[in-house]
Chains A and B, each alone.
With several copies, the nearest count.
Chain A
């Protein structure tokens, strides 16, 4: 645990070296929405229908950004190799990286969400708190797979494109479910009987993915 925590601390420290980083992140989030908005110049009704999808597309792109960045830093001065040399458990390294990537992605989401609410003029309701577990579960699914696949993709010259090729198909079920769940919450109607079982299923897959990745990470570090 101390190992994972050290990695997390180092990552967050680098990420937020300057206070401007947060500002940049915030503006980036804002921009993602603005760009969607002006690109899809469509009726409000249509907008509302695609809103959950848009939200998750925004999440995914900020997540991809976080993943790429997090492992590009490791690659820079051969630090990925130095990790392989350390007398620590691969799982711990995975955990540390996973936590830092997740925290950064959650932060993006936290910044994106208010913009989303404002742009779509959604009324805040008590029910919206249900989005917290939904976003959490979806994000963890994305990052638990994303972390290990980034560590794979970083070994290639075409890191970014390969990460997309590997991650997107694999993570697609989680994203589909998350979009569905988000739609259910934002739909404003009653939360149907399907909501919680689905949420639990997403969470269950998070656990599965995480566990497998945790166990396999050692193999990625060694040659």
Chain B
């Protein structure tokens, strides 16, 4: 059963991935920009924003899994929360890498203490701390409890982090999606949605794989122990 799901996911992922690459680089019309570098850089949009959204979603999953863990004390919720946190950090890292790459040609600087940038960084730090905490604690129920608690508090903080920054004048484009599809014309909108879908499948796939890996580790440990005793 499992391998079939994984295989299907992988195939779908490959197809959508290749398609979105095609859409982004060959199909969607170029934006008008003052120079070529900017034009090319704009392509990053289709990686940058979906990464950010999926990052948020990963952290939401961490939150849900943490609550579920404390409610049920089932190991699998712990594993899901870890896996999702790792992927979330990965995605936000992507945002933090693609952002500056985009910023350099557009704004002329790599980094500025802009609201969105700062809050992204803080978000990243919150979940890196979450992962660090797990590394410092020995495996066991204590670790599961503590990290679930941090997983919950961490997520509650996320909206606040984003709220707090509204007090800053911001250089970063704001809510393109919300402020009007007008700015995101047909093909661009389609490409963006397609890219988003690709990232979502990517997320699902990595999450499954990572979870399976963690489970495997558990079984392996158990077997080791059995062997050691006998």
Contact = CB atoms under 8 A, between A and B. Distances in A.
Contacts of A113: none
Nearest to B168: A41
Contacts of A176: 164-165, 167
B150 A152 contact: yes
Interface stretch (A8-16, A53-61, A130-138, A167-175): A167-175
B136 A162 contact: yes
A197 to B, nearest CB: 11
B37 interface: no
Chain B binding surface SS class: helix
A169 B137 contact: no
A156 B129 CA distance: 13
Contacts of A219: 70, 145, 148-149
Given A121-B111, A220-B146, A220-B149, A23 B137 contact: no
A168 B161 CA distance: 12
A27 B125 contact: yes
B85 to A, nearest CB: 14
B153 interface: yes
Contacts of A31: 125
Interface of A: 18, 20, 23-24, 27, 30-31, 34, 37-38, 41, 118-119, 121, 145, 148-149, 152-153, 155-158, 162, 165-166, 168-170, 172-174, 176-177, 180, 198, 201, 205, 208-209, 212-213, 216, 219-220, 222-223
7 contacts: A34-B125, A152-B150, A155-B137, A165-B125, A169-B126, A169-B129, A173-B163
Interface of B: 70, 109-111, 113, 118, 121-123, 125-126, 128-129, 132-133, 135-137, 140-142, 145-146, 148-150, 152-154, 156-157, 160-161, 163-165, 167-168
